[in-house]
Amino acid sequence: MINDVVKKYLENSYIFKKKKILFKNKKYISYYHGRELCFKTNDSWLSIKGTGWNYGPPYAYTGKYDFNCLGLLNYENAEREKKISNILNRKYSKKFSKVLELIKFNRKDTSKIKNFLPRDFVPSLIIREVSSPYRINDLYLKNKKKAFNSFKYYFGSNKKIAISKFHMKVLNIIINYHFKGYIHDMLDLGNINTHGQLLDLEYFYIPNIKYPKYFKLSKKILTNRKEKEAIYFLEAIYQLSEILDEKTTLRNLANKSLEMLKNHDKYKHLIFYKTLNAIKS
């Protein structure tokens, strides 16, 4: 049922008509991200978020605010991701997934599943442009060969150099948005693609952009999350190194991160920078 509804909305979407994309050409690519469909265009990929679980269990409603209910995407979250995407892509071109279109489900189309949905949950789709449909986690899952080819195509075939290039690219993206006071807040190998592009922006923190009502925020929590993001960043580089059989430590990666930064005076006041410095010691 969900597949039929998704098909109808996508075939009638502005982007699909403009790019002459057929629904039958859908691909289930990232086994890590189960509510996503992908479509190849001439120069990039379209990632459709909120299409329902593409592989088991599937999940059903399990809590008051289950934002992954049935693999769907709540309109409130989708609307927020579009707003965040617009801001980030104006400031940092092609460093983040780009939301091209937001589609809200008609109530009639969800009548058969309404009893499974949390209260006020309105299913929706976002059509995003991404440079690669493979996430770093796909390097050790079923599609690992194609994922590695995508990584190698972008960063080169020398694994050690490729990891270093990936490390530098992602570090510079993160340190620059931390300088603006932003936080990704969901940073892991599932939300970075094989070209070092950052994905899934529905919980990305930008001052004065309202969070979903169930998300708690305080100054202390914000500080902790900035520290956490530095740790998660190092963990992501460590996991990538491990996947590609390159030995390292979190301390070495923290030290290397600081060596990669050219302007220490600009960043040394940041909690992200201070956390790297503490881990390096």
Peptide bond into 133 cis (omega under 30): no
Averaged pLDDT for residues 45-57: 77
Averaged pLDDT for residues 216-234: 83
pLDDT of residue 125: 94
pLDDT of residue 258: 97
93-108 pLDDT, tens digit each: 999 999 999 999 998 8
pLDDT of residue 118: 75
Single out the residue of 231, 230, 191, 226 nearest to residue 205, CA to CA: 226
Length of the chain: 281
Averaged pLDDT for residues 60-69: 54
DSSP string, 115-134: GGSPTT--EEEEEEEES-S-
Domain ranges of the chain: 2-130, 136-196+216-280
pLDDT, mean over the chain: 87
pLDDT of residue 61: 44
Averaged pLDDT for residues 23-45: 78
pLDDT band at 67 (very low <50, low <70, confident <90, very high): low
Measured distance CA(23)–CA(20) in Å, rounded: 10
pLDDT of residue 32: 62
pLDDT of residue 259: 96
164-219 pLDDT, tens digit each: 999 999 999 999 999 999 999 889 888 999 999 999 998 899 988 887 665 666 56
Contact 276, 257 (CB under 8 A): yes
pLDDT of residue 131: 95
Averaged pLDDT for residues 125-139: 93
Averaged pLDDT for residues 243-257: 96
Q: Is the pLDDT of residue 58 over 80?
A: no
Averaged pLDDT for residues 50-68: 58
Q: Where are the beta strands (DSSP E) in the chain?
A: 36-40, 45-49, 73-74, 98-104, 123-130
Q: Is the pLDDT of residue 129 over 90?
A: yes
pLDDT of residue 43: 80
pLDDT of residue 203: 87
pLDDT of residue 212: 67
Peptide bond into 57 cis (omega under 30): yes
Least confident interval from 34-38, 89-93, 151-155, 245-249: 34-38
